[in-house]
Amino acid sequence: MGLLSYLFGSGEVPFTPETDIPPLTNKVILITGANSGLGKQSALELAKHSPALIWLAARSLEKAHDAAVEIRAEVADAHIKTLELDLASLDSVQAAARRVTSESGPSGRLDILMLNAGIMMTPAGMTKDGFEIQFGTNHIGHALLTHLLTPLLVHTAQRHVDADVRVVVLTSDAHAFAPAAGIVFDSLKSDQNDMYSATRYGQSKLANILFAREVALRFKDKGIKCVSVHPGRVNTNLTAPFRSRNFLTYWLVPLVVNYSGLITTVQDGARNQLWAAAGAKREDLVDGEYYIPVGKVGPASKFNQDAELAGKLWGWTFEQLKPWTN
């Protein structure tokens, strides 16, 4: 894919959430980072199609409640529950998954898991459990959540005749800024302060793509469809932490995009994940694929199709997560 095709969106799948998402009757949806930005917008658009329930997961329960109020102001009959979820704390992830599972009941279901939450270009730091903060939040926390909810996803796929179970992982084309090795496993249990913040971010976003590929590979026979999506360059508060940071490469393409009018709104930015979660026909989604807006297979990079690295990431991740999975 050439630069102009990438920037100007040739080959985009026509998609309007209001008209192209089918009725979501009986569906249960969980969205992380649902208190603002792309997550809240996704919840709003999905609520318009009458799912049985949407879980709004967020680090701040108060902000999740506020988002629920705003959504109900537009969709009065929206069925919403709020869920406290701090992805930088694996105890919090474990507690959230237990609540979702316990409240689902014996005939419960989870049809769409949208791994939307993330942090971007933050100062060097570590999670509560000792992982580099961006990798720990963007990948490790979501990996544990997915693992703990997999029995519910599989149950839904195998027990409900109307099931169309999907896991949608938010990533970014900034995965191209990952370090030369792709993922530096030896120092992930540190703050990796020897790297640019953007490099650490790219590493975490590469992990998102590889994780989606591995979920798709491992659960394709269980009825779970998994893809990763890049939303485009969206005007959300996620970008605020790095606006003062000196990383020229990251700003070069966005500068061109901005002057071409392609810095997109949250409403437009949510379209790719909504397409993947509910708009695309199941048979049109390539399992494990990485999509750019809207509905286009993303360009290959050095590592984003590396099956060996994806397998290594999976093994390393779940070795680290043993205290929370046994």
What is the predicted pLDDT for the residue at 266? Answer: 95
Structural domain contains residue 189: yes
Structural domain count, the chain: 1
Pull the structure tokens for residue 200. Answer: 């650490």
> What distance in Å separates the CA atoms of residue 209 and residue 314, rounded to the nearest whole number?
12
In contact, 305 and 216? CB cutoff 8 Å: no
Structural domain contains residue 202: yes
* Range(s) of the domain holding residue 130: 3-320
Structural domain contains residue 326: no
Structural domain contains residue 278: yes
> What distance in Å separates the CA atoms of residue 3 and residue 252, rounded to the nearest whole number?
12
CATH number of the domain where residue 174 is located: 3.40.50.720
From first to last of the 326 residues of the chain, give the pLDDT tens digit: 444 444 445 578 999 999 999 999 999 999 999 999 999 999 999 999 999 999 999 999 999 999 999 999 999 999 999 999 999 999 999 999 999 999 997 778 999 999 999 999 999 999 999 999 999 999 999 999 999 999 999 999 999 999 999 999 999 999 999 999 999 999 999 999 999 999 999 999 999 999 999 999 999 999 999 999 999 876 555 544 444 444 544 554 455 444 444 567 999 999 999 999 999 999 999 999 999 999 999 998 889 999 999 999 999 999 999 999 98
In contact, 34 and 23? CB cutoff 8 Å: no
Q: Is 155 helix (H, G, I), strand (E, B) or coil?
A: helix
What is the predicted pLDDT for the residue at 236? Answer: 55
Structural domain contains residue 292: yes
What is the predicted pLDDT for the residue at 253? Answer: 45
Structural domain contains residue 181: yes
What is the predicted pLDDT for the residue at 238? Answer: 52
> What distance in Å separates the CA atoms of residue 283 and residue 103, rounded to the nearest whole number?
31
Structural domain contains residue 325: no
Structural domain contains residue 246: yes
Q: Which residues are marked as active site?
A: 201, 205
> What distance in Å separates the CA atoms of residue 71 and residue 128, rounded to the nearest whole number?
32
In contact, 167 and 146? CB cutoff 8 Å: yes
Supply the pTM of this predicted model: 0.91
